[in-house]
Structure 1
Amino acid sequence: MAKVNIVEKKLTGGKVSLLLDYYQHGQRKKETLKLYVYPSDKRSKNPILKNAFEETYAKALYLKHKKEMQLAHGEHDLPTKTDKTASFIHYFEQLAESRNQNWQSVRRHLYDYTKGKLTFGNVTEEWLHRFQEYLRTKIKDVTVCSYMGIITTCLNQAVREKVILANPATNIRKVRGKEIPPKYLTREQIEVLEQNTQNIPQWFTDPFLFSCYTGLRLSDVESLTWAEIVPTAGKHGQFTLIKEQTKTGETVVIPLSKQAMSILQRQNLETKDTRAHDLVFKLKSRTQTKRYIHRWRTQSGIYFTYHSSRHTFGTMLQTAGVDINTTSKLMGHKSISMTLRYAKVVDSRKEAAISQLNSFLG
């Protein structure tokens, strides 16, 4: 595998810029990462400064691994132009084949609105706004928000695959329906699930529980590789998960808890360096995933969906007293307003507790 190094370029004021240094086709290249640190923060007694330094370097390490994989597979740099005549409908259909029923619903609305004819060149901010307003005449606002999120996910994927250069949905103001509290599992419910795994394969239970302790979406667990599990800088035996989210394209940096680590141990963590490009979990089809969720619900008597695992992580962080900004970063939220939902859940639980106390005291 091609060797890629992280190098520092000194800037004014003691700040340094992080770059990747590597050789490609016999030529030396330096690629700026747009990541900046103050070297003095590495040994700072201020935990906020020290954590910021470690998190930035962790992102640089992830980008280093990613570049090494790109060079190993002969991938090229981002193109300077794209084919705007390519069919967006056809591209969306290909992605929808392996996604849930909501994607099929969006596909039908796209067909009804465009008569099946829509190129990437026509998918502009203006067009997306018109399509969003069209959806509002057909379905509830909360569903419009969900469906526009699917369109955004599709366009993010197109950017990653270099079909387009930028996502036109980035600045679209999303419709917000009535806020629905996230469904999550309590620690006691997780224990009940762990005690009721008979006739449910470990290839399903382990990824689900891992999501409860990391907040990863199903799509990210499905694509998680060992290269994205890296040793935590300066902490022997500890690991950090660095993953570019499929839905948003945002990179999350998640130090792994002992519960998450124990799950990785069952996947033979000690041999990860020889399997860098292998998937951590061997999940089957989405159909089988739904089947085992239903079976697990029946056996445990607890209602949940796979996405409940992500909500569980966010709620546990807030319950443990983690500040809202850190929770937002660990969840990979683009907006802190998304994270505030978990704070509201915890607040409502506190209010319910006081109500119970009042009843007890009479």
Structure 2
Amino acid sequence: MITIRYKPLKNGKYSIYLDIYVQDATGKMKREYEFLKIYVSEDYSVKKRLKDADKESVLYAEGIKAKKELEFLNGNYGLIEKKADSQADYLTFLTREVKRKTTNVDYNLALLKHTKVFLKDKQPTFAEITRDWCEDFKSYLLKNVSQNTARSYLQALKLFLNIAIDKGFLLINPMQKVTLPKLQDVERTTLDIDELKLLIQTPTKFGYHIREAFLFSCFTGLRISDIRLLKWSDIRDNRIYLRPAKTSEKIAILPLTENAKEILNSLEKEHNNDLVFYKLTINKSTLRKHLTRWGTKAGIKQNLHFHAGRHTFATIGISNGIDLYTMKEMLVHSKIDMTMVYAKIVDKKKVEEVAKFPKLSLK
């Protein structure tokens, strides 16, 4: 049985999803929800009169529902004795899918590396990838990496297990009931305007577009994953038209700062290569070593890493009057809470600066 439902969103709109009862391999009925990424202005489960602006979206959702019902009748979806290929080799699958992924490459490779260490010489089938296995892997990660990094790896694992469901290796995602570690508020490496000037004035010889790419991040807030994939065709009318690699949900339109334009104008285009930073092919570890040396040479006390460019863009921008909601859009954050972290950094800096004010005797 499939029912179209409407989930209210904070922005006042409704997200259409399918409420599906599915029979698993044991014959038990299970409920699944499939969000269609279709949005309308009303809850049409209670309001019957369709607005003209929503007609196309609702009809499209009904078409998807009809297609699913047909799949059920044909036994292709899982309502009738759907079975998973649970004897397939999990590590072979993960290795193959990690190689195929073009986004979040560093995190995916790290997930694969830790999975191999965790498994030792074992070659588990999908039948062994249970909730308990996921909980054990979570415990292993928390002992070996930071809480926030463990959270990121587990989120990546969940995505790969969803792919396994699509390919018929699993019926349900064993990560579904695993609680992710809470995101910890950590000290973010960020440069103030004077430190950024020092960095710019410090010459470098390492090539690979490292210097240009990092400074471009400082002046745009782009992540390394987006900078690696940035194409000249994404840049029009002094704006970047970007579908972030981390979310891939919507295209963000980001106006270029004057310094960002200057960096782009300094770059040579490679024939038959649309990538802007086409030389930025080194791995994350080597990239960090180069940035750390650059920072040390410039006299910066903090250990420099690429994401510090994004932090720097946010804190300098907020310090110079860019409001939080505009910054949220420029960083392509899904929630304002994520952007408010940078406002706290700016406030902390103000407190530190005020503390330098000399205390005078008032008597």
Note the C-alpha offset of 1:187: 1.6
Contact 2:165 2:173 in 1 (8 A): no
Contact 2:219 2:259 in 1 (8 A): yes
Match of 2:106 in 1: 99
Say which is worse superposed, 218-227 or 203-212, in terms of deviation. 218-227
Secondary structure of the equivalent of 1:359?
coil
Match of 2:281 in 1: 284
Match of 1:149 in 2: 152
Deviation per residue, 1:182-205 (Å, 9 max, x gap): 111112112111111232326211
Matching residue within 293, 296, 319 for 2:294: 296
Match of 1:351 in 2: 351
Gap change, CA 1:295 and 1:83, over 3 Å in 2: farther
1:308 matched to 2:308? The reply is yes
Note the C-alpha offset of 1:209: 0.8
Contact 1:228 1:241 in 2 (8 A): yes
Gap change, CA 1:220 and 1:164, over 3 Å in 2: farther
Note the C-alpha offset of 1:161: 12
Q: For CA contacts below 8 A with separation 6 or more, give which structure has more relative contact order.
A: 1
Counterpart code for 1:144 = Q
User: Which structure carries more helix by proportion?
Assistant: 1
Match of 2:119 in 1: 111
Gap change, CA 1:167 and 1:242, over 3 Å in 2: farther
Note the C-alpha offset of 1:359: 3.5
Structure 1, gaps ≥5 residues long:
1-31, 38-79, 232-236
Structure 2, gaps ≥5 residues long:
1-35, 42-76
- Point out the structure with max Rg over C-alpha: 2
Note the C-alpha offset of 1:175: 1.8
Partner Cα distance (2:141, 2:213) in 1: 36
Secondary structure of the equivalent of 1:152?
helix
Contact 1:197 1:205 in 2 (8 A): no
Say which is worse superposed, 185-194 or 287-296, in terms of deviation. 287-296
Match of 2:216 in 1: 210
Partner Cα distance (1:336, 1:171) in 2: 27
Deviation per residue, 1:234-254 (Å, 9 max, x gap): xxx422231232x33344432
Contact 1:212 1:312 in 2 (8 A): yes
Partner Cα distance (1:314, 1:118) in 2: 45
Counterpart code for 1:117 = P
Partner Cα distance (1:227, 1:161) in 2: 34
Gap change, CA 1:216 and 1:34, over 3 Å in 2: same
Secondary structure of the equivalent of 2:205?
coil
Length-normalised TM-score, structure 1: 0.60
Secondary structure of the equivalent of 1:260?
helix
Contact 2:89 2:124 in 1 (8 A): yes
Match of 1:42 in 2: none
Partner Cα distance (2:322, 2:174) in 1: 34
Partner Cα distance (1:289, 1:167) in 2: 35
Match of 2:24 in 1: none
Matching residue within 91, 96, 121 for 1:89: 91
Matching residue within 177, 183, 189 for 2:189: 183
Note the C-alpha offset of 1:360: 6.5
Contact 1:102 1:147 in 2 (8 A): no
Contact 1:123 1:168 in 2 (8 A): yes
Partner Cα distance (1:158, 1:259) in 2: 42
Match of 1:322 in 2: 322
Gap change, CA 1:189 and 1:168, over 3 Å in 2: farther
Query: Which aligned pairs between 1:201-240 and structure 2 lie closer than 5 A?
Result: 201=207, 203-229=209-235, 231=236, 237-240=237-240
Match of 1:14 in 2: none
Match of 1:22 in 2: none
Note the C-alpha offset of 1:149: 0.7
Query: Which aligned pairs between 1:245-256 and structure 2 lie closer than 5 A?
Result: 245=245, 247-251=246-250, 252-256=252-256
Partner Cα distance (1:354, 1:145) in 2: 32
Length-normalised TM-score, structure 2: 0.60
Partner Cα distance (1:191, 1:293) in 2: 15
Secondary structure of the equivalent of 2:296?
helix
Note the C-alpha offset of 1:159: 7.2
Counterpart code for 1:259 = N
Partner Cα distance (1:257, 1:161) in 2: 42
Contact 1:242 1:253 in 2 (8 A): yes
Gap change, CA 1:293 and 1:154, over 3 Å in 2: farther
Note the C-alpha offset of 1:333: 2.7
> What percent of counterpart residues are identical?
22
Contact 2:204 2:211 in 1 (8 A): no
Say which is worse superposed, 299-308 or 152-161, in terms of deviation. 152-161
